[in-house]
Amino acid sequence: MDQNHWKSPLPCDVYNLGLVPFADAWTLQKSLVQRHGHSPQPDRLLLVEHPGVYTLGLGSTLDYLKLPAEDLPYPLFRTERGGEVTHHCPGQLVGYPILNLKRHRPDLHWYLRQLEAVLILTLAEFGLRAGRQSGLTGVWVGDRKLAAIGIKVSRWITMHGFALNVCPDLGGFGAIVPCGISDKAVGSLAQFCPGITVEAVLPVVVNSFAQVFELNPVIQNAAPLGL
């Protein structure tokens, strides 16, 4: 048997940062990505909730805002990720993997499908049969979208990531056409599992992420330098 077949999984530092303003988490991501240009870095997974905010993808249109930007109930940021407008708020678990895909597979399509697999596996742990919709990115239960994905990859280092609606107030989505999809509803895990909390889901996401990406999660008790 090839000895390499039994190599230990690569470590991945996991940070549960709690409630963090979007701008702060965005700055932290960019700082961690930049470190990869200077010295070897571990894979990292940042897990956060955000106060209410809307974000746009790099090339996304304002046509999917139902109100003028200045009249939205929460701040609006244009980012470098792909995809259209989305909403973040407390009760939604957001994951920002900072991975070097050269250690995994340098393939954007593969990476997107892997993130979807993490969320499908997570929801299965709570008894939900989640899946994909043809031609769309994200994870669905029936026609309800429970998780959105939007990424940026530069020199095969990833940033941005996924947002899983655990138990959020979905009202903020009413001011936008989420991800530009007008004919399907946004949903949450709490609609199927009343009383579910982010605290209950977070370790399941970590385990699912580790399983799908074949990583060894190393839980960090302090935030990365810069937050």
| H or E element in which residue 29 lies | helix 22-35
The Cα–Cα gap between 22 and 89 comes to 10
User: Which pLDDT score, from 0 to 100, does residue 225 have?
Assistant: 65
Q: What is the pLDDT along the chain (227 residues), one digit of tens a residue?
A: 444 455 689 999 999 999 999 999 999 999 999 999 899 999 999 999 999 999 999 999 999 999 999 999 999 999 999 999 999 999 999 999 999 999 999 999 999 999 999 999 999 999 999 999 999 999 999 999 999 999 999 999 999 999 999 999 999 999 999 999 888 899 999 999 999 999 999 999 999 999 999 999 999 988 776 65
| Residue 163 tokens, joined | 């947002």
Active site residue 179: yes
CA nearest 83: which of 164, 171, 160, 189? 160
How far is C-alpha 21 from the geometric centre of its chain's CA atoms? 15
**Domains of the chain by range and CATH?**
11-215 (3.30.930.10)
What is the secondary structure of 174-197 as a DSSP string? GGB-GGG--SSEE--GGGTSTT--
CA nearest 187: which of 196, 211, 29, 204? 196
Whether 156 contacts 142, CB under 8 Å: no
The Cα–Cα gap between 58 and 80 comes to 5
User: Which pLDDT score, from 0 to 100, does residue 57 have?
Assistant: 96
- pLDDT tens readout for residues 12-26: 999 999 999 999 999
The Cα–Cα gap between 122 and 203 comes to 10
The catalytic residue among 12, 89, 167, 179 is 179
